[in-house]
Amino acid sequence: MEFLDKTHEERFLYMEKESGKTKKNKEYEILYFIIAGNDGLWDKRSHILSESFDELIVDLENDKNRCVTGPFDNSERKLLNLAVNMFNIRLAKMALAEIMYDLDPRDQKLAFNLIKFKYNMN
């Protein structure tokens, strides 16, 4: 896993520990990786995780036209949609090109690093 910096790595490890999950779960690691790498998502992590990522996935499966919404700016929403896309490709509502368009360089690198992790390209 290629972190953006030490803070990103520390936040990721904190989220893994805080989750209490003893078994590695790649889908949750994807979500933690995205949240830990973006300051806005990090600040909103309790909101994101409070309704449970599993419940969000079920909601998205039930409403095929829905993307991640909520109190997120454009980049945050795109990164969360990327995490959902990586969680379950059938739920992809945004094409990768649409997700990557107009992300700042840090968030682009975060997205590329996530894709490399998901597909074992490290």
Q: CB 119: neighbour CB atoms within 10 A? A: 9
Residues 42 and 107: beta-carbon distance below 8 Å: no
Chain position carrying tokens 């090109």: 97
pLDDT score of 5 more than 60: yes
Q: For 78-111, what is each residue's pLDDT tens digit?
A: 888 888 777 765 555 666 777 788 899 999 999 9
Q: Where are the alpha helices (DSSP H) in 20-104?
A: 26-37, 39-43, 45-50, 53-62, 74-87, 96-100
| Residue ranges of domains in the chain | 6-118
The per-residue pLDDT for range 54-71, each reduced to its tens digit, is 555 445 444 444 455 566
pLDDT of residue 63: 47
Helix (H) / strand (E) containing 116: helix 105-118
C-beta separation of 117 from 15 below 8 A? no
Q: What's the average model confidence in pLDDT over 27-46?
A: 89
Q: Is the dihedral of CA 9, 121, 57, 41 positive or negative?
A: positive
